[in-house]
Each structure stands twice: as structure tokens, then as C-alpha cells.
Amino acid sequence: MGCKIWQQQQGGGKIKILLSSATVKEPFQILITSLLSLLLPLAFLLLARLSTAHFLFSTAPNYPQTQISSLLISLFFNTNPTLLHALISFVSVATLMHSLSGRATLTTDSPGPVSRLYTAWILLCTLQVCVGLGIEGSIAAGIDGSGFGHERSSLSKVIFFLGLHETMVYWSRTVVKPVVDDTVFGYVKEERWVERVAMAASLGTLWWWRLRGEIESLVVMVEVKRELLIGVGIADFVGWWLYYLTVTIGMVKIVKGIMWLGVILLCRRVEANSSPVDSTGNEEKV
């Protein structure tokens, strides 16, 4: 009887060890980090739909009154995107500075005291709820900007996607990952290729599902309003600026990739040219 009790205790201890092991923690950390990292591209999607809604307000004055039928839709139509513009602008500018200089302007260390960790989680969860409610409100209101971006070239979409990926990675490394790692592991772990693949796959899925057809309404709405002689608001201008700022980040990434490839090819060529000289020098010595 005593042996059975001891074996049961040993089994329970093994289960506790398994739950606290890296086998469970690491997939959980990757999942939470990927989901919270998607807040940035989802915020871009929300801004694009808000831009579409403002355009519909300008061209069809009766549109809001005929569509508002619930609290969720009312919240969407009365959303003030100022704080969202400020957050995305700050992260995008920091990403551009990091791409140009190679230095992070935001801290990548652990949040520190427990109070700071709680504050970071409150801010992330608040952002998650606000963006989620905004997306749900746009769906309930039937806002879809997928029909406004077909005139843009595929090259601009590719460059924007690269810039958005770079911005999302910077957001994840400087804001999301330190908070999640400190909560799960107690310290900030080094980024692994599995996390990079998970973030790229999640962004690629969101891009193919919605973003590639709607994101360019940030630019198209401004151009259409100018053609129709409709006043362009500050929110429209900021959305237009954020789009081209992200395109600039993508162009910087492309240029850096080309330079990196050129340096590798140059080094290989120098090694190939120097190897025959070394071999002939060795033969002369012999």
C-alpha cells in the first residue's frame, strides 16, 4: 500500500514537472507572442476601414444613420483614431530609425519590477480589446475597403508587406516579447527561428486573408477625395503618411538586402582570386 501511494506521488510530481517544463512553456510563449504581435497589422487594418468609413460619410451623408443598429457599430463609427495613429507612428518611426542605424530606440530588456509588468500587460490587453472591438464593429457595419486598392501596383504591395513585416518584428522584439518572456520564463530569452517563422506565417495569413486587399485604402481614399474636391482631414493625411512610411521601411530593407548580397558576392570573388595566388606562391617556395 505504501509503495502505491509513493508511486502516485511520484506520478503527480512528474505531471507538475511536465507542466512547468519548456515543453509546455515554449509553445505557449510562441503562441501568445505571435497573437500579440498581430496587434500592429490589425491596427493598420482598423485604420484602413476607418478611412473607408470616413469616405462613405463624406460621399453619402445618410450612410451612418441607416447603418447604425447596435452599440458595437455605433462605437466603430464614433471611434477617434488619434491614440492609434500616435502609437503606430511612434513604432513605425522607431523601426525606420532602427533600420537605418541598426540600433534599437526602445528597450528590449525585461520590464523589471512586477508593477511595470502588470502595467505592460494592462496596456497590451487594452490595445487588444480596442482593436478587436473596432474590427468587429467594422464587420458588423459591413465596412470593406477591398474594392479600392486594385489600381495600385503589385510592387507597391510587396514593398509595403516587407515594411509591415519589419515593423511587426520590431514591435514584437521591443514590446511584446520582453513582456511575454518575463511572464512565462522570468527573463527575456534569445529569439529563435521558430518564433520568426511563426510571426511570418501569421502575418502572411492575415495579409492574404484581408490586408492585401484593404490596406491601400489609406492612400486611395486621399486621392479619391482630392479628385472629388472633398476636404482631406488630419486622420486621412496621417493614414496616407503611415502607408508611405511603411513603404519606406520596406525599401530600406530591400536596399540593405541587396547590399548584403553584394558584399557576400564580393567576398567570395576576392577569395576565389586570392586562392590561385596563394597556391602559386607555395609552389615557388617548394
Q: Given the C-alpha cell 478611412, which residue does it identify?
A: 51
Say what the pLDDT of residue 7 is. Answer: 47
Q: Given the C-alpha cell 451612418, which residue does it identify?
A: 64
- pLDDT above 60: residue 1: no
Residues 77 and 73: their CA atoms lie apart, in Å, by 6
- pLDDT above 80: residue 210: yes
Say what the pLDDT of residue 39 is. Answer: 94
Residues 146 and 210: their CA atoms lie apart, in Å, by 8
pTM of the model: 0.82
Check if the beta carbon of residue 138 is closer than 8 Å to that of residue 46: yes
Residue 6: pLDDT band with limits 50, 70, 90: very low
Check if the beta carbon of residue 164 is closer than 8 Å to that of residue 251: no
Sequence spans of domains, the chain: 28-272
- pLDDT above 70: residue 142: yes
- pLDDT above 80: residue 18: no
Number of neighbouring beta carbons within 10 Å of residue 75: 16
Residues 277 and 270: their CA atoms lie apart, in Å, by 11
Phi, psi of 108 (to 5 degrees): -110, 10
Mean pLDDT of 224-238: 81
Residues 79 and 53: their CA atoms lie apart, in Å, by 11
Say what the pLDDT of residue 170 is. Answer: 94
Q: Where is average pLDDT lowest: 50-59, 83-92, 215-224? A: 50-59
Residues 185 and 223: their CA atoms lie apart, in Å, by 48
Q: Which of 9-18, 170-179, 277-286 has the highest mean pLDDT?
A: 170-179
Instruction: Give percent of the chain with pLDDT exceeding 70.
Output: 77
Instruction: Give percent of the chain with pLDDT exceeding 90.
Output: 32
